[in-house]
Structure 1
Amino acid sequence: MFPWRLLCACVALIVLSGCDVPNAEITGKVTYEKVPHSDISHGLEYNKSFASPVRGVEVQLIEDGTIIETDITDAQGQYKFIKKMDTFVKIRVRAELSNVTGDGDNNAWQVRVVDNTNDSALYTMETNTFEVKRESMSINLHAASGWQGEQGYTSTRAAAPFHILDKVYDIFLKLDAIGDVQLPALTINWSPNNIPQFGDVTIGEIGTSYYQNGQIFLLGAEDVDTDEYDQHVIIHEWGHFFEDKVARSDSIGGPHAGGDYLDMRVAFGEGFGNAWSAMITDQPTYQDSFDQNQATGFSIEIEDNDVINPGWFSEGSVQSLLYDIYDEASDGQDFINLGLKPIVDILTGQQKDTPAMTSIFTFMTFMKENNPSFVNDFNNLLQAQNITTDVDIWGTNATNNGSLTEALPVYLDLAVGDVIRVCTSTSQGADGNKLANHRFIKLNAPVDGSYTLTLTPSRDNDIDGYIFTNGEAVAANDDAGIEPAVINANLAQGISIADVIGYNAEGTAVAAVCFDAEFQMN
C-alpha cells in the first residue's frame, strides 16, 4: 500500500483537485539569556549567563503579514503550530503575558513590556520568513543579552524585556497557588535609554526605577544603572502596583534608604516591597547591580533582624517582620511559617478598609486577629524591632519615638469644638517623607455632616492639610500662603484622618512648624 503522501500525489496526476496538502507540525522553544548576580560583588556576571525559558508569552504564526494562529509558551518555553506545507511563514514572540479572562484555576492578568522612548512600542522577537516544507519542523527562538565582554553591549538587548516578564510570571505562579487575586492590566516601561535623571520619560529621563499610576518604569543605563536583570527591583516595583491596584497603599513615596526614620506609610510600603521580592523569589538577599559593566552593586538582607534604627518608622523592621512571617527558616526569633496567603489576605482585605493609615500597626493588628495561636511569636518579632507588642491600628501604646518628641503619639485626637497644639519636625530629615514631617490627627465626627478643620500656624509658615476617610482623600487645602489653612469636608460619622505638613513661608521647603488645630461642625 502506498503511503498517504505518495497516494495523494498519484491521484493528483489524474484528478487535479480534491487532494489536500499535508500538514506540518512546527514546534520550538523560546529562551532568553539570563544573567545572574555575583554573591560577592552583587554585580552581574555575564560569563555565567545561561538560557532560560520564556514562559507564558504569546507566540504568533504569521503568513503574508496576517496572524493566522497563536499559542502560549508553556513552563519550558515550548510552543506548537500545525500548518499546511508549501507555505511561507514567520514566527513572532511578544513581550506580553496575558490571561485576561482567567483560565481554569488561574487568575486574570495582562502585562506588557514596552519601550517608553519609542512611542511605547511593544517589544517583540521574530524569525525571518521561512518555507514550511517538512512534516516536522523545529524552530527555536533565543533572545540574547547583547553583551560582548570587554566591548560591552554591542547588539540589541533582546533578553531584557523577557527577563522582566519572567519575573512577573514568577509572581503569577505564587498568586495562582493561593487563590483568587484578579489583577488589572500593567505596563512596564524599559529602555536602554532610561537613565537616572528626572525629566522627559519619553526620551528616557525616568530618574529611578519606580511605579506610578498603573505603570512601572525601569532603568536601563549601561555602565550607570540597569535594572532589567535585578529581579528584586522588578518584583519590588510590582509590589507597589499590587498595593495600589489590588490592596491599598497610603505611602507618599520619596527618597528612602536603610536606617532612615521614615513616615510610617513609606516605611510600610518600601518594607513590603522588599519583603515581597524575597517572598516571590525565596531569596532573602536583595541584590541591585550598577556602575561600570554592571559589575558592582549592593545587597539587603531582608531577613536580618538586626536592622539599623529599628522601629515602626523603619523599612528594615517592616521587611524583616513580613518575611519572617512568610518564610520557613528559623533564625533565632522566627518560629513562624505562614506562607504568602495570610499576608495577601490582610493586604487585600482588612488593611484595605482600615480607617487608620496603612502601617506596620494596621498590618500586625490584623495578623494577630487572624492568627491568634501565633500571638506570642508575633510579639517576639515585634519586640526584636523595638515596636510595641500591645499593638492596635492606631499605634496607641507606641513608646519608640525615634528620638523625636514630636513623633508620638502617632495620632492626636481632636473632637468637635476642641483645639489642640500640634508640632512637626525635620530633625530626621526634611524630604517630606521622614518621621514627623507629617502629623496625623483623628477627627471624631459624631454624626454625618459638614465639618471645618482650621490649621493656624504660630508664625509665618505655610500649612497643608489633607483629610482621609478609610484611605480615600475627601478634602484638602494645599494652597501656598501663611494664612490659616481652612478645610471644609463632608464627613461620615466616625473617624477620619487629617494629615498635616508644614513648609516655610514661601511654601518651597518642608519645615518644622507648630500650629493650632480646631475642629468644628458647620
Structure 2
Amino acid sequence: MGKTLSNKRYLIIFITSFFLAACSNNDGGTNVTETINITGTIQYERVPFSTSTYGLDYDNIKVLPVRGVVIEALDESGDVVATSTTSDDGFYSVTVEQDSAVQISVKAQTLSVATAKWDIEIRDNTNDGGLYVLQGSLTDSDTSADSIRNLTATTGWDGSSYSDTRASAPFAILDTAYDVVMKVVAVDSNVNMDDVDIFWSKDNSTASGEPTDGEIGTSFYSGDQLYILGKEDLDTDEFDDHVIIHELGHYFEDNLSRSDSVGGEHGYGDILDMRVALGEGFGNAFSGMVTDDPIYRDTSGDQQGLGFELDVDDNTIYLNSNPGWYSENSVQSILYDIYDAGEDDNDTVALGFAGIYQAMTSSDYVNQASMTSIFSLIDEVKTLNPTAETAIDTLIAGQTLNANYGIDIITDKFGTGERHNAGVDSNLDVYKSISADSIPVEVCSHIEAQEFNGLGTRQFLRLDISVAGTYTITADFLATGSYILETASDPDFVLYLNGEVAQSVNGSTAGFGGGEDKGEETSTVNLQEDEYILEVYDYSNVDSDDTTISGTACFNVTVTNS
C-alpha cells in the first residue's frame, strides 16, 4: 500500500559529526583519485527498564547500533549524492567526490526492495507528518583521504527531565520495528510487507481528540499506521518495545494474515468478543516472541518511573482472571507456549515462530468461512502440525477453571462442542446454525461482559447457501423475558463471506441499521452458493453511548429464499 505522505517533508535533527581522517587514497601525490570513502557508525541511546521499579532506568542508558536504516550523503544544495544502508552493527559506507562539501543524513526509515520487501518510516503527526532525520554537519571533503563520520542520536535527558531534543526516540521505535521485520524474514525470506508509517511525537498524549495535536488517546494501530505515545511525565512508549511490537502485531494480522477484530477497550480479565480476544492476545504473545522475553512491560508516569508488567508465559495466574476462548490472557499464554521451547505446566509444545506464522498466513486460515478466533487459529496450527495435536490439546485444557470458564478441546474452526459460556447461557453455541427455510433462530445480544466488544454483544450464525439466489434476512424483536423494550431496540446485522462484508442487491454494504421500525430489521441480498457468517446485535449494545438504553435484546432471525 502506497504512502499518502510526501517523502520530502523531513524533521532534521542536527548534530556534529565525529570526523577522522583515514587512509590516503593517493599514490604518492602524482595520481589523486576523484572519489573518497566516508564510513562510520550510527548509534542511538536507549533507556532500559529498571530492575527495581516498573519504570525506566536513566542511570544506565545504553548506546546501541542503528540497524538497517537509510543513509544519504547530501551536498551543500541538499541533493543526494550517495546512499547506503547501515549494517547490523550500525556501520555504513558511501563514496563521494573529493573536494566537495558533504553531510551525512540518517533517515528514520528501514527499507528493502530485495526479495523480502518492507518500508517502515517514523514520522511526526504533530508536524505535518514529517519524517525524522538525523544529520551531521556539512563538512568539506577537500582532501584525498577517506574519512570517518560517526553519529549518535541522544535521549535529551538531563538527569531529571527531557531538556534537549529527544533524537533517539524515533530510532528506538524503528529499531524495535526492525526486530519485528527480522523475526518475520527469518521464517519467510520472500515476505512482502505493506508500507507502514509509525507516528511519534513528544506531544502524543493520552488525551483523545485530534492526532495532529498529539491527542491520540493511546498507542494504537489503524490501517498501515501506528501512533505511539510520547508525552513526558504522562506516558511515553518509545522505549516500551513490547507495546510497539503489540501494535505491529495488529499490522502483521492485517497485512500478512487476517484480522476480524472490532477493536475497542480491553484489559486483564475482560470477557471479550472472540475476535478481539485473539487479536489482543496475539499482540501480547507476539511481543514475547520477537523479544524472546515473555515479560510484557509498559512504563508511564512522572519521570517515566511507573508502569506495569505481565508474564505472557504464566499459565497459572490467568486461571483467576476468567480464562477461556474469550480471554486475551488465555490466548497469549497458549500462543506463547506453542512458540517457546521451555516446558512448564501443561506445555510440551515447541513449534517456534514458524509454527505460528505458517498457520496465520496459510490460505486456509486467511480465507476461512469462520471469523478469526482462538478456535480457527488452533485448528489451523493442529492441521499443519499433526504430531503436536495431543500436546496442544493438553495445553488448551490447562486454560480451564470450571464449567463456565475455560476452553474445551478444539475440534474445528467454529468451536463446535464448546461448553464454557462465561456464565451466560446465550453465549453458546459459539455459532448458531440457520437455514434459508424461514424457520426462526433465537439470538440474544447483551452486555453482561461489557458494551461494544464484550462477549455476547454480537452473536454469530452459520448460513449455508446451497442455491445461489435472492434472499431476505430479517431480525425481529422477541418480546419475552426481562429484555429492553421493543421501542428501544434496534437490531442490526452484518453478513460476511470469508471475512469480507457481503454486498446487497443495490450495492450497499450488508451492515443494516437505523431502520425506521424499531425492533425490526430486514434486507434482501443476492447470495452465491457458499457458507456465510451472519453477525447479529442490538445497536444500543455496540454504540458505546451511555445515554442509549442498552441491555439484553433477543431476536428471531430468519432467512428466506425470495
- TM class by shorter chain equals over 0.9
- Determine the C-alpha separation between the residues in 2 that align with 1:414 and 1:81: 65
* Amino acid across the alignment from 2:448: S
Q: Structure 1 counterpart of 2:168, which letter? A: A
CA distance in 2, matches of 1:252, 1:505: 14
C-alpha distance in structure 1 between counterparts of 2:79 and 2:327, whole Å: 54
Aligned counterparts of 2:309 and 2:54: Cα–Cα separation in 1: 7
Task: Report deviation, 1:346.
Answer: 1.2
Local SS of the residue matching 1:343: helix
In the alignment, what sits opposite 1:327? Answer: 340
2:559 matched residue in structure 1: 519
Q: Quote the offset at 1:24 in angstroms.
A: 2.7
Where 1:468 maps in the other structure, the secondary structure is strand
Map 1:32-431; keep pairs closer than 5 Å: 32-64=44-76, 65-99=78-112, 101-103=113-115, 107-132=116-141, 133=143, 135-150=145-160, 152-179=161-188, 180-306=190-316, 307=318, 308-349=321-362, 350-386=364-400, 387-417=407-437, 418-430=439-451
Bigger drift between 485-494 and 371-380 goes to 485-494
Contact 2:156 2:164 in 1 (8 A): yes
User: Contact 1:219–1:228 (CA<8 Å) still a contact in 2?
Assistant: yes
Whether 2:497 is the aligned partner of 1:477: answer: no
- On the 8 A contact 1:456/1:485 being kept in 2, the answer is yes
1:376 to 1:119, Cα distance in 2 relative to 1, 3 A:
same
Q: Give yes or no for the alignment of 1:436 onto 2:456.
A: yes
Deviations 1:419-467 (A, max 9, x none): 111112211122x100101110111212122212101113220112111
Whole-Å Cα distance in 1 between the matches of residues 96 and 434 of structure 2? 73
| 1:42 shift after superposition | 2.3
Q: Cα offset for 1:511? A: 3.2
Amino acid at match of 2:262: I
What is the CA distance between 1:341 and its match in structure 2? 1.2
Which letter maps to 2:379?
A: T
Residue identity matched to 1:166: D
SS of the residue 2:217 aligns to: coil
Q: Quick one: distance in 2 between partners of 1:305 and 1:39?
A: 23
Q: Distance in 1 between matches of 2:521 and 2:58?
A: 56
Equivalent residue for 2:493? 465
For the 8 Å contact 2:121–2:197, the answer to whether it is kept is yes
| Structure 2: tracts of 5 or more residues without a match | 1-24, 401-406, 479-485, 503-509
Cα distance between partner residues in 2 of 1:309 and 1:55: 41
Alpha-carbon distance change, 155 to 427 in structure 1, aligned in 2, over 3 angstroms:
same
Instruction: Find the residue that maps to 1:440 and give its secondary structure.
Output: strand
Paired with 1:160 and 1:407, the residues of 2 have a C-alpha distance of: 45
Structure-1 residue corresponding to 2:523: 487
| Cα pair 2:108 2:122 within 8 Å, conserved | yes
Write the distance in 1 (CA, Å) between the matches of 2:542 and 2:266. Answer: 25
Percent sequence identity is: 37
Which residue does 1:13 correspond to in 2? none
Task: Give yes or no for contact 1:168–1:235 (8 Å, CA) kept in 2.
Answer: yes
Contact 2:513–2:539 (CA under 8 A) maintained in structure 1: no
1:336 CA displacement: 1.3
Q: What secondary structure does 2:495 align onto?
A: strand
Aligned pairs, how many? 504
- Counterpart residue identity of residue 227, structure 2: F
1:499 corresponds to: 535
User: Structure 1: which amino acid aligns with 2:187?
Assistant: I
8 Å CA contact 2:26–2:32 kept in 1: the answer is: no
Q: Could you tell me which residue of structure 2 aligns to residue 14 of structure 1?
A: none
Q: Distance in 2 between matches of 1:393 and 1:327?
A: 24
Q: Distance in 1 between matches of 2:383 and 2:27?
A: 70
Q: Give the match's secondary structure for 1:123.
A: strand
C-alpha distance in 2 between matches for 1:494 and 1:83: 61
* Aligned counterparts of 1:233 and 1:502: Cα–Cα separation in 2: 33
Is contact 1:503–1:512 with CA below 8 Å preserved after alignment?
no
- Distance in 2 between residues matched to 1:192 and 1:264, nearest whole Å: 35
Q: CA deviation at 1:137?
A: 1.4
Task: Give the whole-Å Cα distance in 1 for the aligned partners of 2:360 and 2:47.
Answer: 33
SS of match in other structure, 1:336: coil
Alignment check: 8 A CA contact 1:23 1:135 kept? no
Cα distance per residue 1:273-301 (max 9 Å; x no partner) = 00011000000000000000111110111
Pick closer, same or farther for the CA change 1:299–1:81 going to 2, 3 Å: same
Q: Do 1:93 and 1:126's aligned partners in 2 also have CA atoms closer than 8 Å?
A: yes
Q: Give the Å deviation of 1:6.
A: 4.5
One-letter amino acid of the counterpart of residue 520, structure 1: T
What TM-score results when the alignment is normalised by the length of structure 1? 0.94
Distance 2:251 2:416 in 1: 30
Q: Which residue of 2 aligns with 1:16?
A: none
Q: Which amino acid aligns with 1:253?
A: G
Q: How far apart are the structure 2 equivalents of 1:269 and 1:6?
A: 66
Match of 1:27 in 2: 39
The residue type paired with residue 325 of structure 1 is I
For residues 351 and 88 of structure 1, do their structure 2 counterparts lie closer, same or farther at Cα, with a shift above 3 Å needed?
A: same
Find the residue that maps to 2:277 and give its secondary structure: helix
Q: Is the 8 A contact 1:115 1:121 kept in 2?
A: yes
Q: Which structure 1 residue ranges, 5 or more long, are not aligned?
A: 9-18
